[in-house]
Amino acid sequence: MPLANINSISINYEFQRAARDSSQTVVLVNGLADDLNTWDLQVPALAEAGYSVLRYDNRGIGRSASPAGPYTSQMLADDLHALLKHTGTTRFHLIGVSMGGMIAQTYALSYPNGSTLADGHEMLSVSLCCTYAEPTNFCSRMFDLWADMAVRMSIQDVMKDVILWCFTVSFFRTRTSDLIEIDQAMEQLSMSQEAYLAQLNVIRTFDTTESLKQLHVQQQALGNLDKSKVLVLAGEEDILIPTQLSRELHELLAGSNWKTVRGGHGCTVSGFYILASPSDILLSWNSQTTSTLLFCLS
């Protein structure tokens, strides 16, 4: 996979281009301690649907550089913009899950369509999956615990706890082989304590509440998009970022689409749907995995 030398660091990425030159591009943004392989189940379906797909490792994970932290959502959104420029991606659908949804919010706030900073780059839609506008005391206590565990124990021990928050009771009952694969992947996770804590700072300090309220006052949409091109998605049984917090994000984004799906926080690994908004055309893809992810693509 190629490396992009941007913002004084190297970012590992994969750009799978569709056969048609006129195809639209989907940009996928990962969550905390997740590399670009997070999207392995989604990329084939998106490619089959005719989309080009750009995915990458955030700083601090995978084959991307791990400079000293702490990191912020602004820092990672700036990395994303630099990567878009590097790859010549000017028009795209932006999809972020969990921390990736926070990066996507920050990108849309910092580089809105038509702005000088956007420099000709145009979001066609933004999908914010299993994420929030602010962590609240509930999530903050969880993240404080993870930080403490990372220092006192190990990143692998933190991941064992994260898995419990990511999946549903049904998943643990019926998906034994998948759980074994997930456990093995977590045991092999190559991420230093410093890099983990640097990324963890992103979700601990993230708060777009006032910025989104200001958009509402100014009667503007996130990213200067048509409001119908913004989707907030949540798992009905998400206990890591509770569904209530995603709902509150949707309410801050007046006019945005709201969708819930069966399952918990680990939506990228727990089947999958593509939601073509606003025509509401549903393209389904079936595999041995049966979680659901909806994307606001049009």
Q: Mind listing the pLDDT tens digit for each residue in 118-138? A: 999 999 999 999 999 999 999
* pLDDT at residue 172 in the model: 85
Q: Which amino acid belongs to residue 236?
A: E
107 closest CA partner among 136, 88, 128: 128
Say what the pTM is: 0.90
* pLDDT at residue 99 in the model: 98
78 closest CA partner among 110, 54, 50, 55: 110
- Map residue 186 onto helix, strand or coil: helix
* pLDDT at residue 273 in the model: 46
SS (H, E, C) 190-257: CCCHHHHHHHHHHHHHCCCHHHHHHHHHCCCCHHHCCHHHEEEEEECCCCCCCHHHHHHHHHHCCCCE
* pLDDT at residue 270 in the model: 53
* pLDDT at residue 188 in the model: 79
Which residues fall within 8 angstroms of residue 268, CB to CB, at 6 or more apart? Answer: 38, 39, 41, 42, 97, 291, 293
Neighbours of 20 (CB within 10 A): 10
135 closest CA partner among 249, 222, 35: 249
* pLDDT at residue 284 in the model: 33
Alpha carbon distances (Å) from 221 to 14, 33, 76, 136, 226: 30, 30, 22, 24, 7
- The number of folded domains in the chain is 1
* pLDDT at residue 291 in the model: 33
* pLDDT at residue 177 in the model: 86
Which stretches in the chain have pLDDT values below 70?
21-22, 267-298
- CA–CA gap between residue 216 and residue 208 (Å, rounded): 12
Note down the domain range covering 90: 3-297
Q: In CATH, what number is assigned to the domain containing residue 107?
A: 3.40.50.1820
Tens digits of residue pLDDT in 172-224: 888 888 888 888 888 878 899 999 999 999 999 999 999 999 999 999 999 99
Radius of gyration, alpha carbons of the chain? 18
- CA–CA gap between residue 6 and residue 12 (Å, rounded): 10
